[in-house]
Structure formats: C-alpha cells, structure tokens
C-alpha cells in the first residue's frame, strides 16, 4: 500500500518504520518531529494526496479534528483514514462522520503496548468503525501489532481504550497502596508478591508491571521509573474516561479518585515524566 503517516512522535515513528520494513511505501508528516529514516512531505495534505491509507497518531481530539479537516479534502475517494490517537469518543465519531460524508472509510484504533510495542510491532489495537473499513485496516494491524479487536462502530475503539486504562490506573494505585501497607506492617515485599501474584489479588499491575523495584518481572520500577507509560499519559486517559462518564451518566467513583491522585502526581509533585507506577514512591514517602 501507499501510506501517509501523520504524527511521527514517540509512537508514530516506530509504527511507520514497521510499515516501511514490511515493504509499504510510507510518506510521513509532522510539524515538529523529522526523523531522517522516514520520507517526509511538506504538509499533511501533500502526504495523503496519493495514499491508500492515511494514519494519524496525534495528541488530542482538537488537533485530530483540525488535521482531519485538512487531509480529508486531499484524500482520494475510497481511501481509508485510520486514526490511532487516544482521544475523546465524541471527536472520534465526528471525524468518522466527516470522512464518510466525503466518500472515505474511517477507523478509530487507539493502541496499547507503549513505545516498546510500537517498536517491536506488538501493539494491541482497539478498533471502531464499519466492517469494510476494519477489513481494509486489518493487514496493517497485523504488521504493527499482535492483536486487533473490532469493538463496534465509530468511537468504540476509543471507548474500549479509556475503559481499559481506567481499570489500569485504579489497579495500579491499589497495588501501590498494598505495598505501602505491607512496608508498614513489616511484610517483606517479595513475600507479598509471591502470595498476591498467585492469589485472588493478582492483576497485570502486580504480576507483569510490578511497581516495587526488584520484585517480579523486570519493569520500569527496576530502571528508576523511566516510563513505559508516563504518569502524564495516564492522567490524560483517566480524564478522558471521566469526561465520557460525565457525558454518558456513568458512575465511576474509583476512576474519579484515581484521576485526582494522578493529577496530584503530575501537577503537584512534578512527576509527569516518570512511569505511572512511580505512584508507589509517593505513597511510601508519606510519613
């Protein structure tokens, strides 16, 4: 395929490299990032003009809406807009509707797996859109990731992503609180891990991404909390989840409290650039 890739930051650039390595023709565009190993266009509109697929990986819904307005007018009828950004559900649906009005296909497919997954082609895609559009995107999902789930119509991919990450944010806090309590009770961290990781308290946050250094499989905790997934990004996703909860009338008290705690971590403690599992250091330093 001929592919335009708009947004070549920490996630977009390695995803584009996976497509190039698989033999696709990729033309990229980013107003800031200019990797020298990806062919670049002078504008987003130029990048998409001859593309079968335009992929966007952008910071938020407002930017996506603006970029979509630019690229949709330049895209060929019948081509696909595949958005891999993590944004609000309303923006995803609005962009899909705008694309379809112009005779384009659209899929919203936010990702899970972080920079490592983008680099290694092992991302998980949560996709929303019509069956025909998902079928067009599927061969690209198979290159950039290890799993793609078609969650429903436009916006369903974003809905799945924010629900998943609301669970992740809350369970990471609970895991960190448990380690903080274990410390106070004189319980060895390794002993707690050995029990919880094989008992009813097990979770991805404990078993795979343990926030305590030197315990369990290697994780950012063992590398000074250099982020696999930063606290700033967790806060972004939790705020998206709370916005969706408010607009839909859902009750999410734990999600709401998790948002407040990550806001404190990022905005009061200045730890936004650390991994979100560094929440443990905040809880254990409170004496």
Give the largest Cα separation in the chain, rounded: 65
**How far is residue 3's CA from residue 55's CA, in Å, rounded to a whole number?**
7
* Chain-centroid distance, C-alpha 137: 18
Query: Other CB atoms closer than 10 Å to residue 37's CB: what's the count?
Result: 9
Q: How far apart are CA 241 and CA 256, in angstroms?
A: 9
Active site residue 161: yes
With H, G, I as helix, E, B as strand and everything else as coil, classify residue 280.
Answer: helix
Options 138, 161, 236, 286, the catalytic residue? 161
> For residues 150-159, b (16+ Cβ closer than 10 Å) or e, as one string?
bbeebbbbbb
Q: What is the distance between the alpha carbons of residues 110 and 160, in angstroms, rounded to a whole number?
A: 9
- Interatomic CA distance for residues 85 and 58, integer angstroms: 5
Q: What is the dihedral of CA 86, 90, 92, 96, to 10 degrees?
A: 180
For the annotated catalytic residues, the residue numbers are 161
């Amino acid at each position: 395929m001929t592919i335009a890739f708009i947004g070549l930051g920490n996630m977009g650039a390695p995803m584009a490299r996976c497509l190039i390595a698989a033999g696709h023709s990729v033309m990229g565009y980013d107003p800031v990032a200019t990797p020298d190993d990806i062919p670049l266009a002078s504008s987003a509109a130029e990048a998409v003009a001859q593309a079968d697929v335009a992929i966007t990986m952008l910071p938020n819904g407002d930017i996506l809406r603006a970029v979509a307005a630019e690229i949709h007018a330049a895209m060929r009828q019948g081509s696909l807009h595949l958005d891999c950004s993590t944004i609000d559900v309303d923006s995803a649906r609005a962009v899909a509707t705008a694309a379809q009005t112009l005779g384009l296909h659209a899929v919203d497919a936010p990702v899970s797996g972080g920079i490592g997954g983008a680099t290694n082609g092992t991302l998980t895609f949560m996709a929303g859109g019509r069956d025909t559009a998902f079928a067009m995107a599927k061969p690209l999902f198979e290159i950039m990731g290890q799993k793609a789930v078609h969650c429903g119509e436009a916006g369903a991919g974003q809905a799945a992503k924010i629900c998943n990450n609301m669970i992740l944010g809350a369970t990471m806090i609970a895991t960190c609180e448990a380690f903080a309590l274990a410390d106070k009770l004189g319980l060895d961290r390794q002993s707690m891990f050995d029990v919880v990781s094989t008992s009813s308290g097990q979770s991805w946050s404990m078993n795979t991404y343990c926030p305590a250094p030197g315990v369990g499989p290697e994780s950012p905790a063992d590398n000074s909390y250099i982020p696999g997934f930063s606290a700033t990004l967790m806060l972004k996703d939790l705020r998206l989840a709370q916005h969706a909860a408010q607009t839909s009338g859902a009750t999410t008290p734990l999600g709401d409290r998790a948002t407040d705690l990550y806001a404190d971590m990022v905005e009061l403690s200045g730890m936004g650039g650390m991994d979100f599992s560094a929440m443990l250091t905040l809880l254990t330093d409170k004496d």
